[in-house]
Structure 1
Amino acid sequence: MSDSSRDTAEGAGWGAAELGTYKRLMPPEVEKISWLNPKTLWAARNGLLASWFGDPTGRTRSRWVAQRAAAGAPADKVIRRDDPDRFSFLVIGDTGEGDDSQYAVVPGLLNVGQDTRFAILASDVIYPVGSADDYGTKFFRPYRDYQAPIYALPGNHDWYEDLDAFMRVFCGDAPPLAPEPAPRAFSRAWLRALLWHRPRKGDGRRLAEARTLRSAAVQQAVQPGPYWAIDAGPVRIVGIDTGLLGTIDAEQGAWLREVSEDPRPKILVTGQPLYVDGEHHPCAIEGGGTVDDIVRDPAHRYVAAIGGDIHNYQRYPVQVDGRRIQYVVSGGGGAFMHATHTIPRVDIADVTEKDFHCYPLRGDSLAFYSRLYGRRLRMRRFFTLTEAEAAAVVAERLGIPLTRAQQRTARITWRIRLVAALLGAGRRPDRTARLRLPVRKIYTQLFSPSSETYSPPFFKSFLRLDVTPEAVRLRCYAATGNRAQEIDPPVEDDITIPLV
């Protein structure tokens, strides 16, 4: 097994290394998404409109589900497979940027996942707005050599065009929804409808050609809608659609309660994580209750909850009524990297730093962002930290041991401390708190995608889950973009979850 980021800096992808072969998989021309482009920001306006004028996602979702039911989809929305008692599957989160960081994941994923029975894309299949003509280079082309079905859960970006393309690709070529009656003039709904972004006319003309890239019989999968359950071997995998604003409607909530009553052990996959960045986000259900209430109910036998949306890996082993549920963030499948160095010292639901796992390591995240800011602000000599310096200052600010096994303690100067404070390392209140650069909220919403790096290390990741009647083994594999990690993807986390 190759070194991981927890072993050496080289295992994290730092230093001179041979570039991976992933560029051979990429199309000749690659779209580079910039969220500083007013055209892109305007196209992605629906999330903001939903928060201002009311969220129509639940009603639209219900109409999609009704359409699929009328077309013969199973009423219980359960996909029943013939997997054996022992099998494996992949989970890949937030994939669809279509650039180097997405394609860099593919060679290692194919090596690790060649014997898996299926894969699940968890959140944001296509950026920036889920358009049908983007599926060629951002879904069909990158996964054309994966010889198994792929199921998907939409993220907020897939909802920016009312889920039209997602339904066409994953749900049996579903026809467009019929227009709704016009709302009352000058109402909030009328204002929202007036400004709402919809699929452009003629979108999807290249979709038939793109489908030929994944046309083998073993690659085909049709799911009953944007949320579903999969009965696979000894487990039930439950996938929910959290829409534009990270909640679920009453109809989906009732379905979730019903499918959760099945006696099999369960794994939840969701568009947004329930624990992330040291905080609990239980996911509200319209009409009352939360998704996490359902997950925590011992009668439902959930053993893990995996969410996308945040572009890194995190794991929180939470004790619930004498048993442990693994809450996982897995959004490192292809989009720009969300910082981990801004995660405060973890102390939530009896989960502490010694229990918490993340990838990239906080020190690597700080080193990555210090280079990024140094380049963007043309102040490389001031901002750039080595990986050893970044790890040392993060350990000091959080009061934790160094996390890399073979790392020497670097001397921490005033410049290193100032850069760490400016970039929000550990979020510890200090004199520079007001000066911190927006590495988390504003930055990742508006500027991070435009600052996407196109050379390793990328700090991407994906999950492999190996299921037996007794346990599920969950491993987080890294993808750096370097050749060494393509050939033998390093394991950044490895946990066995008992089912009995």
Structure 2
Amino acid sequence: MSSSSRESAEGAGWGPAERGTYRQSMPASDRRERISWLDPRMLWAARNGVLASWFGDPTGATRSRWVAQREAAGAPADKVIRRDDPDRFSFLVIGDTGEGGEPQYAVVPGLLEAGRDTRFAVIASDVIYPVGSADDYAAKFFRPYRDYPAPVYAIPGNHDWYEDLGGFMRVFCDDAPALPPGPAPRPPTRAWLRALLWHRPRADDGRHLDEARALRSAPGRRAVQPGPYWAIDAGPVRVVGIDTGLLGTLDAEQGAWLREVARGPRPKILVTGSPLYVDGRYRPCPVEGGGTVDDIVRDPDHRFVAAIGGDIHNYQRYPVRLPDGRTLQYVVAGGGGAFTHATHTIPRVDVAGVSERDFRCYPLRGDSLAFYSALYGRRLRLPRFFALTEAEAAAVIAERLGIGPTRAPGAPARVTRRMRLVAGLLGTGRRPDRTRRFRLPVHRLYTQLFSPGSATYRPPFFKSFLRLDVGPDAVRLRCYAATGNR
């Protein structure tokens, strides 16, 4: 069987196949783990992001208090972790992991195999769903990765911030104690209303953490971070992890730190919770006080070679050639375990000089459309209307975007009116030069509402992670897929 989704349907996980060995490592209770983002109770618990967008974002001030507390406890002021890695080594990047169910566990066997000789791993955003609770770390961090033999570092995502980062700081930052209460805002201000509605952790949250830590207690497995953002000097490179909080921005204090650690001749790799290129769009990530994260990344004096972001739950790669001749690899790497964000909604790529010929994504757009058409065919009890085969989905994607077949072609499928209608209803992207007059306005709704409701517990899962092989003169970045099948 082919090993790549670009080579065969079987390589993408379609067709009859035996389910992978990952279920053997799952406790029976975890097999029933379900997070539904269409459940009003779940949405209410995760309300802080909406409150921050309505009434002002408090994460910058809270982050500053966490950082000050860590410095007072002895963490290095420059927030640099200095390791003794050799000039040639490898590490993993896994994004948006922590739902705790079958899709997360399905990544683990391949991750352990591909990562058996790696020196460390980095989780890029959303370590724990739904709200970053400390008591969720046992099932969604310590147990899934209990056999990974090296340290795991992390940057928080917006979900880790839904309880003011308390669980994250306890696990990754030397069991940092809870922050003392800040000054209470005065009524009837926006800050007062926000505080009134703000979701906070339970008083006894984290009571099982000591027991959970025993699952990764072997020497050399614990990573102690100086705070929610950091830099790692590893062999010839510096890996820089930034915390973009609830709304995907940087506070002024962190922005000044990023400019400082970006200096110097050492090549650098950025890991961020907010990808800078995603879904065919440019999102440079504003910094409070002026400028953007991408301004810092593109500066030739800073020598960044890649910017890897989580938050969006799939794999995308944009090799952007800069005016000075360098090529920066902008990567989305959020396929580590949470529900799959659709890729078939990505329009034909034409951004920053990157065309369809250069762009890569996983799942392929046709596989994404086939997956979603079957999913909503089942949920709406209209499988004969909605469900497209992977060949049909690939054909209608090629027609709508005006691109050739992404996978090695077999017998081409004939595109019918039904296929076109299903593709339009499910938000399939279009060519930039084609009129949108008759396009249904479902793209944003689909991404924000339907994708979070797409978690299924039958393969293919379309999960992924990255392995980076670092040498004195080059960094090789590879995306590994996990379908859930052998």
Instruction: State the TM-score, normalizing by the size of structure 2.
Output: 0.97
Q: Which residue of structure 1 aligns with residue 483 of structure 2? A: 480
Give 3-state SS (helix, strand or coil) of 2:14's partner: coil
Letter of the 1:106 partner, please give it. V
1:381-392 to 2 correspondences below 5 Å: 381-392=384-395
State the 1:337 CA deviation.
0.5
1:446 paired residue number: 449
- 1:424 alignment counterpart: 427
Question: 1:240 corresponds to which residue?
Answer: 242
Match of 1:329 in 2: 332
The alpha-carbon deviation at position 27 of structure 1 amounts to 2.1
Q: Which residue identity is paired with 1:385?
A: L
Q: Please give the alpha-carbon distance, in whole angstroms, between the structure 2 residues aligned to 1:39 and 1:332.
A: 25
The answer on whether the counterparts of 2:316 and 2:361 sit within 8 Å (CA) in structure 1 is: yes
Contact 2:116 2:149 (C-alpha < 8 Å) held by counterparts: yes
1:94-144 Cα deviation digits (max 9, x unpaired): 000001110000000001000000000000000000001100000000000
- Taking the aligned partners of 2:314 and 2:411, their CA distance within structure 1 comes to 25
Structure 2: how far apart are the matches of 1:224 and 1:27?
A: 33
Q: Map 1:181-220; keep pairs closer than 5 Å.
A: 181-220=183-222
State the match for 2:116 in structure 1.
114
For residue 441 of structure 1, report the CA deviation from its aligned partner. 2.9
Equivalent residue number for residue 105 of structure 2: 103
Partners of 1:96 and 1:335 within 8 A in 2: yes
In structure 1, the residue matched to 2:15 is 15
Q: How many Å separate the matches in 2 of 1:451 and 1:15?
A: 20
Residue 265 of structure 2: aligned partner: 263
8 Å CA contact retained: 1:27, 1:137: no
**Aligned to 1:433, what secondary structure does the other structure show?**
coil
Shift in Å, 1:38: 1.9
Q: Given the alignment, which residue of 419, 430, 439 partners 1:433?
A: 439
Residue 179 of structure 2, aligned match among 177, 180, 187: 177
* SS of aligned partner of 1:318: strand
Note if 1:25 corresponds to 2:25. Answer: yes
> Of the candidates 331, 339, 344, which is equivalent to residue 342 of structure 2?
339
- Render the CA deviation track for 1:234-275: whole Å, top value 9, x for unaligned: 000000000000000000000000000121000000001000
Q: Relative to structure 2, which stretch is displaced further, 442-451 or 226-235?
A: 442-451
Question: How far apart, in 2, do the equivalents of 1:236 and 1:335 lie?
Answer: 28
Amino acid at match of 1:81: R
The residue aligned with 1:363 is: 366
Question: Residue 400 of structure 2 aligns to which amino acid in structure 1?
Answer: R
Distance 1:390 1:211 in 2: 45
Change in CA separation of 1:451 and 1:351 when aligned onto 2, cut-off 3 Å:
closer
Partner of 2:383: 380
CA distance in 1, matches of 2:313, 2:445: 15
Provide the rounded CA distance (Å) in 2 between the counterparts of 1:453 and 1:42: 22
User: Does residue 348 in structure 1 map to residue 351 in structure 2?
Assistant: yes
Q: Distance in 1 between matches of 2:154 and 2:255?
A: 19
Deviation for aligned residue 1:2: 4.4
> Which sections of structure 1, spanning at least 5 residues, go unmatched?
484-500
Alignment pair present for 1:253 and 2:255: yes
Extract structure 1 runs of 4+ deviating beyond 4 A: 428-432
Q: How many residues align?
A: 480
Aligned-partner residue type, residue 117 of structure 2: D
Give the conservation status (yes or no) of the 8 Å contact 1:33–1:449: no
CA contact (8 A) 2:340 2:454 kept: no
Instruction: Pick one of 308, 311, 315 that aligns with 1:309.
Output: 311
CA distance in 2, matches of 1:451, 1:304: 30
The CA distance in 1 between the partners of 2:198 and 2:266, in whole Å, is: 42
Offset at residue 445 of structure 1 (A): 3.0
SS state at 2:478 partner: strand
Instruction: Work out whether residues 96 and 127 of structure 1, in 8 Å CA contact, stay in contact via their aligned partners in 2.
Output: yes
Please state whether the residue corresponding to 1:94 is helix, strand or coil: coil
Instruction: Measure the CA separation in 1 of the matches of 2:85 and 2:465.
Output: 21
Contact preservation (8 Å) 1:278, 1:343? yes
Q: TM-score, normalised by structure 1?
A: 0.94
What SS does structure 1 have at the residue aligned with 2:64? helix
The answer for the alignment partner of 1:458 in structure 2 is: 461
Q: What residue identity is the alignment partner of 2:403? A: I
Contact 1:35 1:447 in 2 (8 A): no
Q: Corresponding residue for 2:160?
A: 158
Taking the aligned partners of 1:443 and 1:205, their CA distance within structure 2 comes to: 38
d(CA) in 2 for partners of 1:408, 1:174: 59
8 Å contact kept, 2:427–2:446: no
What corresponds to 1:148 in structure 2?
150
- The CA deviation string for residues 199-220 of structure 1, in whole angstroms up to 9 with x for no partner, is 1110111111111100001211
Write the distance in 2 (CA, Å) between the matches of 1:431 and 1:307: 33
Task: Please state if 1:394 is matched with 2:400.
Answer: no
Identity of aligned residues (%): 78
Q: Separation in 2 of the partners of 1:24 and 1:432?
A: 49
